Amino acid sequence: MGMDDQNGEFREKGGFGSRFIVAIVMALVGIIMYMSQVEVNPITGEKQHVALSPSEEIRLGLESAPEMAHQMGGELPDTDPRTQLVRRIGNFIVDKTDAKKSPWKFKFHVLADSQTVNAFALPGGQIFITWGLLKKLETEAQLAGVLSHEMGHVIERHSAQQMAKNQLGGLLVTAVATGASDQQNSSNHALVIASVANQMIQLRYGRKDESQADIWGLKLMSQVGFNPQAMIAVMQILKAQDHGSGTLEIFQTHPNPDLRIKQIAAYLQAHPPAANLSDGKRLHFESN
């Protein structure tokens, strides 16, 4: 081997060593940052890794709400009977449950999108339900189940936790791509592998979050006198929207409705609801 070849090999090994050290430092920074982001949940008392304070969650939710509404066809006005119904049920749940003890500012919105069947929560308490889902609900208890589920996401601080995990995952992905390659092709390959692994971790946490929010939904419904069995009817409505796409559950952000029905039924069997709980009034909407 000639001198030039030896020098080239030395530089290549030295470059790999430098990249490996940088990767280790990046990974350590990510882990230390994640482990230091710890707060006690004011409702559950659980220590959580979160990327935002409650006041930051509220501000982010308020700032994001108009754009989210814009992306889904706009928001129905305050004077619309559908908005008034959702806010009446939502505010009733807040006022009569553990949600009132939280620092978050709950507000309920109806999106004009008539085709999408969905509901979601932004950090800090901004709760959205589409007209496409609302018009499929049959009782106040079912509506309370949807809203209580989304309130559960806020109470558990799922968005703030997910952001902290995403920050950690992003740094680890970059660290793997930096340290596991010595040429462009292998760098791309390492990045793809690391990205897939990170996505799978986030999906797993997403399914866990949905299950937690379902349990919160059942608890909050019971606290205000709605029959939590109505949550099963909500899952059946969601199931009817699944047109048999054949997507494997492991690649779904949410647990499939059949799994959620089983989990809800198991919880209600272990925690039987009181006999005097109600489905509330039946919902009637004018054609819009």
Per-residue confidence in pLDDT tens, the chain, 288 aa: 555 555 555 445 555 456 555 555 555 554 555 455 678 888 888 887 677 788 888 888 888 888 888 888 899 999 999 999 999 999 999 999 989 999 999 999 999 999 888 888 888 999 999 999 999 999 999 999 999 999 999 999 887 777 766 655 554 445 455 555 554 444 444 444 444 444 444 445 477 888 899 999 999 999 999 999 999 999 998 888 765 444 433 344 456 788 889 999 999 999 999 989 999 999 988 756
CB atoms within 10 A of CB 156: 20
User: Which residues contact residue 218 at a Cβ distance below 8 angstroms, ignoring those fewer than 6 apart?
Assistant: 145, 148, 228, 231, 264, 267, 268, 271
pTM tops 0.85: no
Closest CA to 144 of 285, 286, 288, 278: 278
State the helix-helix crossing angle for 158-179 and 140-155, rounded to 10 degrees.
50
